[in-house]
């Protein structure tokens, strides 16, 4: 599999999101997914302290075992584990990293990310604490998630000369959610930051299993809850046209969703979750379509003018 860079880290262009570990998957099922991902060439594993009620990090560590040094492990802090463990205060940053290091069974975290901005803490304070962790070799690179372009710029301005800086931002981005194109992607390009999209398949809409005129599959992610917002006539019309576009060129909409994101030069790795080895293998294989400029223009037309 091709690789790109996040700061000093070399990562596979498809990463495995570990939010299902400890939530939808037990330890054995997690190991099966991780094994399949590794066999398929995935070397970038993205988790967070809150995933699976803190079980995700533990299950990932167990699944990797002696292969830890063969991969890039990213995790996040800042979202509420409980009422005491949350936020970006310097003293909590140190507690959070030690907790994650213990759960991951490792002596360093390759990419340590602030999960969400903390308006109660000046960003320079958080960056100072993270810089200390880098200097202590507990963390190799630092990043952030769910940051706006303004917040990215503020973080850049608050970074001391010679100190560790955010080398990446992880936000939602897909064919059906293109908000980052307005300002975040340009800010990444200006700042030399990598972008790692989450929800690249729009919660499954871009897998082809949700079709116009058909009920959402029972037990699927969009069968209830968020599905009411995503399963709109407009989105389903776009999906049908993207399926037709892809199949007409010998590809799948899944391949389109991954490969389209990777045409963006700032995108380093597309992070997608998996609940089975088959899904992990399919995701890993989906990034090989080299879209032409003509095809990209047609995709844009489908997405922006679906009628």
User: What is the DSSP code (8-state) at residue 7?
Assistant: T
Give the separation between CA 67 and CA 61, rounded to whole angstroms.
9
List, as one string, the DSSP characters of 116-173: S--TTS-HHHHHHHHHHHHHTTSEEEEEEES--HHHHHHHHHHSPTTS--EEEEE-B-
How many residues does this entry show for the chain? 307
The structure tokens listed for 256 are: 């389109």
Active site residues: 51
The dihedral through the CA atoms of 279, 283, 284, 286 has a sign that is positive
């Amino acid at each position: 599999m091709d690789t790109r860079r996040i700061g000093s880290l070399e990562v596979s262009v498809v990463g495995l999101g570990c939010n299902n570990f400890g939530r939808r998957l037990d330890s054995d099922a997690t190991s099966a997914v991780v094994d399949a991902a590794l066999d398929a060439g995935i070397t970038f594993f993205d988790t967070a302290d809150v995933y699976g009620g803190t079980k995700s990090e533990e299950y990932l560590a167990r699944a990797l075992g002696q292969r830890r040094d063969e991969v890039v492990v990213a995790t996040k802090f800042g979202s509420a584990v409980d009422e005491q463990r949350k936020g970006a205060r310097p003293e909590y940053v140190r507690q959070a990293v030690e907790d994650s290091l213990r759960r991951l069974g490792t002596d360093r975290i390759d990419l340590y990310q602030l999960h969400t901005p903390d308006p109660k803490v000046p960003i320079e304070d958080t960056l100072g604490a993270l810089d200390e962790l880098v200097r202590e070799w507990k963390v190799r690179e630092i990043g952030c998630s769910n940051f706006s372009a303004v917040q990215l710029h503020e973080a850049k301005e608050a970074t001391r000369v010679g100190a560790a800086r955010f080398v990446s931002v992880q936000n939602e981005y897909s064919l059906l959610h293109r908000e980052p194109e307005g300002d975040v992607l340009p800010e990444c390009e200006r700042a030399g930051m990598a972008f790692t999209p989450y929800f690249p398949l729009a919660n499954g809409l871009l897998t082809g299993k949700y079709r116009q005129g058909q009920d959402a599959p029972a037990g699927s992610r969009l069968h209830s809850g968020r599905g009411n917002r995503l399963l709109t006539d407009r989105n389903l019309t776009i999906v049908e046209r993207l399926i037709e576009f892809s199949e007409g060129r010998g590809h799948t909409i899944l391949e389109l969703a991954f490969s389209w994101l990777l045409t963006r030069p700032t995108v380093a790795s597309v992070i997608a979750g998996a609940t089975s080895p088959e899904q992990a293998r399919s995701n890993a294989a989906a990034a090989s379509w080299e879209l032409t400029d003509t095809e990209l223009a047609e995709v844009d037309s489908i997405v922006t003018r679906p009628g």
